[in-house]
């Protein structure tokens, strides 16, 4: 196909807006946060994506985390093609979904049983329902800046005072739906203590992203996680780790394995997974002890169901992915690449006198145009938005695809090479130099 015969990204975006709200099927893809025209991706392979115009990009989104092996890994592709030939969906149990459940349980000691679903939103919503059903309580605690999917009860912003109940952040969510949702500041021990002091006997669960990937990349401090664990134990609430993003991405045992190293005996009560366990297919899961999971239908009174849950093609993709990432040395090699990338970004900023900071874990990373790593959502909001936007577009123009929003984490895959990292860092130096020249 010649370049002249290709449909442009702008043409596709204009066409898309006539039939799809905002021209996209998930809001951040619209580039509203950074400006410009979204890239319509035609294909991907390894660490690269090509848009409708034939431009190649080094991909640091990786479908927002799942593509830890890169795009089109041969073992994963073979597994998916084989499964597809056997049938796309049966609406009945398969051996493969049992195998995937067993694989997840084997890698995550806190889990004795799992239920497979089709999306992270579905898994998070179901985990909360299970917590409420298991405790007989209604109130839930979440933290500002943590995203757990678009279930009504979770689309809520912080209240105006300390440990106050929030208000809907989306039209279509009645205030009474979020009246039991308490929104607190991330990494604020005083607030979580105040919340339990005021409502401890009513709280069903505390839900958290252990590394908040929807604030870019913000870690839950070890003392903060430890205190939540203590308060949940003291008051009979359940502690939910939302590892949709961090699960099998930051470590083979997921983020909870990192906290277990720092907090002796630590485990969450319920874990939520997505992204990597599906290898790029629509698949997620939630799990906990057998005692709590037996509250789910058909054994118990908590109802949850899904036509495509445990989909045979998705489970094949997930199983093949988990098999590859469990190989010795996988995460060590992945972490080396990720650290090289963020160190390169930091060096580029430092060389040009630009306030900048980075963090990473495993194959997940973040960076901020700020002098110190933020610890909560207000601090993230205080970082330099316009500098991020210019950095994003500068790299995009040089063939590097980062998340098109300040608030999203980035991802490195096993397919990224030293040359890819070097090319990205070289581009960052050019963009940082141009930024320094602006003097803003």
pLDDT of residue 197: 97
Task: Give residue 6's pLDDT.
Answer: 82
Radius of gyration of the chain (CA): 22
* DSSP of 165-199: B-EESSTT--GGGSTTEEEE-TT-HHHHHHHHHHH
Residue 3: what pLDDT? 47
Looking at residue 169, what is its pLDDT? 80
Bond from prior residue into 195 cis (ω within 30 degrees of 0): no
Q: Whole-model pTM above 0.85?
A: yes
E strands, 7-77, in order: 41-45, 48-51, 56-59
pLDDT digits (tens, 9 = 90+) for 88-143: 999 999 999 999 999 999 999 999 999 999 999 999 999 999 999 999 999 999 99
The whole-number pLDDT of residue 124 equals 97
Q: Do domains 3-60+328-438 and 74-325 have the same CATH topology?
A: no
Q: Is the alpha carbon torsion for 372, 409, 68, 38 positive or negative?
A: negative
- 14/282 Cα distance (integer angstroms): 27
H/E element, 436: helix 418-438
Residue of 51, 59, 242, 420 marked active site: 242
- What is the CATH topology of the domain spanning 74-325? 3.40.640
Contacts with 382 (C-beta within 8 Å, 6 or more apart), sequence order: 370, 374
- Extract the runs of DSSP E, i.e. beta strands, from 264-339: 270-273, 284-288
Alpha helix (H) ranges present in 87-214? 95-107, 120-135, 189-199
Active-site residue flag, 59: no
Q: How far apart are CA 257 and CA 251, in angstroms?
A: 7
Under CATH, which number does the domain 3-60+328-438 receive? 3.90.1150.10
Spans in the chain with pLDDT lower than 70? 1-4, 158-167, 440
Check 139, 275, 295, 337 and give the catalytic one: 275
Using alpha carbons only, what angle is made at residue 393 by residues 391 and 397, rounded to the nearest 5 degrees? 120
The pLDDT value given to residue 162: 36
Q: Where are the domains of the chain?
A: 3-60+328-438, 74-325
Say what the pLDDT of residue 83 is. Answer: 98
Query: Which CA distances in Å does 68 have to 42, 127, 251, 382?
Result: 20, 25, 11, 31
pLDDT of amino acid 362: 98
Strands (E), 21-84: 41-45, 48-51, 56-59
Catalytic-labelled residue, pool 147, 259, 331, 401: 147
- Is residue 48 annotated as part of the catalytic site, yes or no? no
Residue-level length of the chain? 440
| Catalytic site includes residue 60 | no
């Amino acid at each position: 196909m010649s370049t002249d015969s290709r449909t442009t990204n702008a043409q596709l975006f204009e066409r898309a807006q006539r039939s799809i709200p905002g021209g996209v099927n998930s809001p951040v893809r619209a580039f509203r946060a950074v400006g410009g025209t979204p890239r319509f991706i035609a294909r991907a392979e390894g660490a690269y994506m090509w848009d409708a115009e034939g431009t190649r990009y080094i991909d640091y989104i990786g479908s927002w985390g799942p593509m830890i092996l890169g795009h089109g890994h041969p073992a994963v592709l073979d597994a998916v093609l084989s499964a597809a030939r056997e049938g796309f969906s049966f609406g009945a149990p398969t051996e493969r979904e049992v195998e995937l459940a067993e694989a997840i349980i084997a890698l995550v000691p806190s889990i004795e049983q799992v239920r497979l679903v089709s999306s992270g939103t579905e898994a998070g919503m179901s985990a909360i329902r299970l917590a409420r059903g298991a405790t007989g309580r209604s109130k839930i605690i979440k933290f500002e800046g943590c995203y757990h999917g678009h279930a009504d009860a979770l689309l809520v912003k912080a209240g105006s005072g300390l440990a106050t109940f929030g208000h809907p952040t989306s039209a279509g969510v009645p205030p009474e739906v979020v009246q039991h949702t308490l929104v607190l500041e991330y990494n604020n021990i005083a607030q979580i203590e105040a919340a339990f002091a005021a409502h401890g006997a009513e709280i069903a669960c505390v839900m958290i992203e252990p590394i908040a990937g929807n604030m870019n990349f913000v870690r839950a401090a070890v003392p903060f996680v430890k205190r939540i664990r203590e308060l949940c134990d003291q008051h009979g609430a359940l502690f939910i780790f939302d590892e949709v993003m961090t699960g099998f991405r930051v470590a083979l045992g997921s983020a909870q394995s990192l906290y277990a190293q720092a907090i002796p005996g630590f485990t969450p009560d319920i874990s939520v997974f997505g992204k990597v366990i599906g290898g790029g297919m629509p698949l997620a899961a939630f799990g906990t002890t057998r005692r709590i999971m037996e509250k789910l239908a058909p054994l118990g009174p908590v109802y949850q169901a899904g036509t495509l849950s445990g989909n045979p093609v998705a489970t094949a993709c997930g199983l093949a992915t988990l098999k590859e990432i469990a190989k010795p040395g996988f995460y060590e090699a992945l972490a080396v690449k990720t650290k090289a990338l963020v160190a390169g970004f930091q060096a580029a900023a430092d060389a040009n006198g630009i306030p900048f900071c980075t963090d990473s874990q495993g194959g997940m990373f973040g960076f901020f145009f700020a002098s110190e790593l933020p610890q909560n959502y207000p601090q993230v909001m205080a970082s330099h938005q316009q500098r991020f936007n210019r950095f994003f577009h500068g790299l995009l123009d040089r063939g590097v695809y980062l998340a098109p929003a300040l608030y999203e984490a980035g991802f490195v895959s096993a397919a990224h090479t030293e040359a890819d990292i070097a090319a990205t860092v070289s581009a960052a130096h050019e963009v940082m130099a141009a930024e320094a020249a602006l003097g803003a």
